[in-house]
Protein backbone atom coordinates (compact mmCIF):
# COMPACT_ATOMS: atom_id res chain seq x y z
CA UNK A 1 0.00 0.00 0.00
CA UNK A 2 1.37 3.41 -0.95
CA UNK A 3 -0.12 6.57 0.54
CA UNK A 4 1.05 10.08 1.34
CA UNK A 5 0.70 11.69 4.81
CA UNK A 6 -1.47 14.81 4.77
CA UNK A 7 1.14 16.91 6.60
CA UNK A 8 4.03 15.99 4.27
CA UNK A 9 2.89 15.13 0.77
CA UNK A 10 6.48 14.60 -0.41
CA UNK A 11 6.63 11.30 1.45
CA UNK A 12 5.42 8.01 0.01
CA UNK A 13 4.28 5.50 2.60
CA UNK A 14 4.22 1.74 2.86
CA UNK A 15 2.41 -0.46 5.34
CA UNK A 16 4.02 -3.65 4.05
CA UNK A 17 6.36 -5.98 5.98
CA UNK A 18 8.94 -6.01 3.18
CA UNK A 19 10.62 -3.33 1.09
CA UNK A 20 12.64 -4.25 -2.01
CA UNK A 21 12.89 -7.83 -0.76
CA UNK A 22 14.05 -6.84 2.73
CA UNK A 23 12.09 -7.24 5.95
CA UNK A 24 11.24 -3.92 7.62
CA UNK A 25 9.99 -2.73 11.01
CA UNK A 26 6.32 -1.86 10.48
CA UNK A 27 4.87 -2.46 13.95
CA UNK A 28 4.29 1.23 14.75
CA UNK A 29 2.48 2.34 11.62
CA UNK A 30 3.61 3.22 8.12
CA UNK A 31 7.17 3.74 6.92
CA UNK A 32 8.36 6.42 4.50
CA UNK A 33 9.59 4.80 1.29
CA UNK A 34 11.76 7.87 0.66
CA UNK A 35 13.64 7.17 3.89
CA UNK A 36 14.01 3.44 3.16
CA UNK A 37 15.50 4.31 -0.22
CA UNK A 38 17.99 6.66 1.43
CA UNK A 39 19.03 4.04 3.99
CA UNK A 40 19.65 1.50 1.25
CA UNK A 41 21.69 4.02 -0.75
CA UNK A 42 23.96 4.82 2.19
CA UNK A 43 24.66 1.13 2.76
CA UNK A 44 25.24 0.55 -0.96
CA UNK A 45 27.77 3.41 -1.23
CA UNK A 46 29.72 2.10 1.74
CA UNK A 47 29.80 -1.44 0.35
CA UNK A 48 30.96 -0.08 -3.01
CA UNK A 49 33.90 1.57 -1.25
CA UNK A 50 34.85 -1.07 1.30
CA UNK A 51 35.00 -4.86 1.38
CA UNK A 52 33.93 -4.82 5.03
CA UNK A 53 31.49 -2.31 6.49
CA UNK A 54 30.74 -1.55 10.14
CA UNK A 55 27.27 -0.24 11.03
CA UNK A 56 26.90 1.19 14.55
CA UNK A 57 23.54 2.17 16.05
CA UNK A 58 23.08 4.51 19.06
CA UNK A 59 20.87 7.29 20.46
CA UNK A 60 21.74 10.89 21.25
CA UNK A 61 19.79 12.52 24.06
CA UNK A 62 19.74 16.01 25.56
CA UNK A 63 20.84 16.13 29.22
CA UNK A 64 19.13 18.65 31.48
CA UNK A 65 22.34 20.68 31.58
CA UNK A 66 22.60 20.98 27.78
CA UNK A 67 22.86 24.66 26.87
CA UNK A 68 21.85 24.14 23.25
CA UNK A 69 19.15 21.54 23.84
CA UNK A 70 16.55 23.13 21.58
CA UNK A 71 18.77 24.33 18.73
CA UNK A 72 18.08 22.44 15.55
CA UNK A 73 21.71 22.45 14.40
CA UNK A 74 23.01 20.32 17.30
CA UNK A 75 23.17 17.23 15.08
CA UNK A 76 25.17 19.18 12.50
CA UNK A 77 27.68 20.20 15.16
CA UNK A 78 27.87 16.58 16.28
CA UNK A 79 28.93 15.35 12.85
CA UNK A 80 31.36 18.22 12.39
CA UNK A 81 33.03 17.34 15.70
CA UNK A 82 33.07 13.64 14.82
CA UNK A 83 34.59 14.33 11.40
CA UNK A 84 37.32 16.43 13.03
CA UNK A 85 38.16 13.56 15.39
CA UNK A 86 38.33 11.14 12.46
CA UNK A 87 40.76 13.42 10.59
CA UNK A 88 42.91 13.95 13.68
CA UNK A 89 42.99 10.22 14.42
CA UNK A 90 43.99 9.36 10.85
CA UNK A 91 46.87 11.84 11.03
CA UNK A 92 47.96 10.24 14.30
CA UNK A 93 47.91 6.80 12.72
CA UNK A 94 49.89 7.99 9.70
CA UNK A 95 52.55 9.48 11.95
CA UNK A 96 52.81 6.39 14.17
CA UNK A 97 52.73 3.71 11.47
CA UNK A 98 52.90 5.55 8.13
CA UNK A 99 49.73 3.70 7.15
CA UNK A 100 46.02 4.28 7.75
CA UNK A 101 42.90 3.10 5.93
CA UNK A 102 40.43 5.62 4.55
CA UNK A 103 37.16 6.01 6.40
CA UNK A 104 34.42 8.16 4.94
CA UNK A 105 31.95 9.30 7.58
CA UNK A 106 28.55 8.07 6.43
CA UNK A 107 25.48 8.31 8.62
CA UNK A 108 21.70 8.07 8.94
CA UNK A 109 19.66 9.79 11.62
CA UNK A 110 16.11 10.65 12.61
CA UNK A 111 14.70 13.04 15.19
CA UNK A 112 11.80 11.89 17.33
CA UNK A 113 9.77 13.16 20.27
CA UNK A 114 6.81 11.52 21.93
CA UNK A 115 5.66 12.11 25.48
CA UNK A 116 8.93 13.72 26.58
CA UNK A 117 10.10 17.28 27.17
CA UNK A 118 13.02 17.05 24.77
CA UNK A 119 13.48 15.26 21.46
CA UNK A 120 16.14 12.62 20.83
CA UNK A 121 18.10 11.36 17.85
CA UNK A 122 18.43 7.81 16.59
CA UNK A 123 21.75 7.58 14.74
CA UNK A 124 23.63 5.01 12.69
CA UNK A 125 27.22 5.35 11.45
CA UNK A 126 28.26 3.38 8.37
CA UNK A 127 32.05 3.06 8.28
CA UNK A 128 35.04 1.19 6.95
CA UNK A 129 35.48 -1.80 9.24
CA UNK A 130 39.17 -1.98 8.32
CA UNK A 131 39.56 1.36 10.14
CA UNK A 132 37.12 0.91 13.04
CA UNK A 133 36.87 -2.81 13.66
CA UNK A 134 34.50 -2.43 16.59
CA UNK A 135 32.64 0.16 18.63
CA UNK A 136 35.25 -0.26 21.35
CA UNK A 137 35.14 0.54 25.03
CA UNK A 138 33.02 3.39 26.34
CA UNK A 139 35.61 4.31 28.96
CA UNK A 140 39.37 4.18 29.22
CA UNK A 141 40.15 4.33 25.49
CA UNK A 142 40.53 7.81 24.08
CA UNK A 143 40.74 6.50 20.50
CA UNK A 144 37.78 4.10 20.46
CA UNK A 145 34.81 4.87 18.25
CA UNK A 146 32.54 4.91 21.31
CA UNK A 147 34.66 7.62 22.94
CA UNK A 148 34.74 9.63 19.70
CA UNK A 149 30.94 9.57 19.63
CA UNK A 150 30.65 10.70 23.24
CA UNK A 151 33.17 13.50 22.83
CA UNK A 152 31.49 14.72 19.64
CA UNK A 153 28.05 14.92 21.27
CA UNK A 154 29.50 16.69 24.31
CA UNK A 155 31.19 19.19 21.98
CA UNK A 156 27.93 19.73 20.06
CA UNK A 157 26.14 20.61 23.32
CA UNK A 158 28.98 22.72 24.73
CA UNK A 159 29.49 20.25 27.59
CA UNK A 160 32.41 18.18 28.78
CA UNK A 161 32.13 14.39 28.67
CA UNK A 162 31.51 14.18 32.45
CA UNK A 163 28.51 16.52 32.16
CA UNK A 164 27.06 14.45 29.34
CA UNK A 165 25.70 11.80 31.74
CA UNK A 166 23.28 9.59 29.74
CA UNK A 167 23.45 11.77 26.65
CA UNK A 168 24.75 8.88 24.51
CA UNK A 169 22.97 5.55 24.71
CA UNK A 170 24.49 2.54 22.98
CA UNK A 171 21.68 0.14 22.25
CA UNK A 172 21.88 -3.63 22.66
CA UNK A 173 23.49 -5.37 19.67
CA UNK A 174 24.67 -1.99 18.45
CA UNK A 175 27.07 -3.23 15.72
CA UNK A 176 26.59 -5.00 12.40
CA UNK A 177 29.34 -6.29 10.13
CA UNK A 178 28.59 -6.34 6.41
CA UNK A 179 30.68 -8.03 3.71
CA UNK A 180 30.65 -6.76 0.15
CA UNK A 181 31.01 -10.25 -1.34
CA UNK A 182 27.89 -11.41 0.54
CA UNK A 183 25.81 -8.39 -0.48
CA UNK A 184 22.18 -7.83 0.42
CA UNK A 185 21.49 -11.56 0.71
CA UNK A 186 23.50 -11.97 3.92
CA UNK A 187 21.77 -12.25 7.26
CA UNK A 188 23.97 -9.43 8.61
CA UNK A 189 22.77 -7.05 5.91
CA UNK A 190 19.14 -8.03 6.37
CA UNK A 191 19.39 -7.63 10.16
CA UNK A 192 21.06 -4.22 9.80
CA UNK A 193 18.48 -2.98 7.31
CA UNK A 194 15.62 -4.18 9.49
CA UNK A 195 17.11 -2.32 12.47
CA UNK A 196 17.61 0.86 10.44
CA UNK A 197 14.15 0.70 8.87
CA UNK A 198 12.89 1.80 12.30
CA UNK A 199 14.24 5.26 11.36
CA UNK A 200 11.70 5.41 8.52
CA UNK A 201 8.57 5.20 10.67
CA UNK A 202 6.35 8.28 10.79
CA UNK A 203 5.22 7.79 14.39
CA UNK A 204 6.92 10.25 16.80
CA UNK A 205 8.19 12.47 13.99
CA UNK A 206 7.05 16.07 13.57
CA UNK A 207 6.67 17.99 10.34
CA UNK A 208 5.87 21.59 9.63
CA UNK A 209 8.59 23.25 11.70
CA UNK A 210 12.20 24.13 10.87
CA UNK A 211 13.63 20.88 12.21
CA UNK A 212 14.41 17.96 9.94
CA UNK A 213 13.01 14.62 11.04
CA UNK A 214 15.30 12.45 8.91
CA UNK A 215 18.60 12.89 7.13
CA UNK A 216 21.59 10.95 5.86
CA UNK A 217 24.99 11.51 4.28
CA UNK A 218 25.08 12.09 0.51
CA UNK A 219 28.70 11.18 -0.24
Which DSSP category does 68 fall into? Answer: T
- Say yes or no to pLDDT of 151 above 60: yes
User: What was the pLDDT predicted at 67?
Assistant: 58
For 152-177, how does the pLDDT look when each residue is reduced to its tens digit (9 = 90+)?
A: 999 999 888 888 888 999 989 999 99
- Quote the pTM value: 0.90
Integer-rounded Cα Rg, in Å, for the chain is: 18
Q: Annotate 143-159 with DSSP letters as a single string.
A: TSHHHHHHHHHHHHTT-
pLDDT bucket at 23, cuts 50 / 70 / 90 = very high
Amino acid sequence: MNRRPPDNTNLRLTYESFYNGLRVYNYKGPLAINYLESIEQVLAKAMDDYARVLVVRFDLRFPITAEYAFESDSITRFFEALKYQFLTDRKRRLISSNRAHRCTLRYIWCLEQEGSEKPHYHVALVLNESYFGTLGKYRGSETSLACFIKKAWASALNLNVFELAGGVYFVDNASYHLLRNEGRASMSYQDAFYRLSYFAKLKSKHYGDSRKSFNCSRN
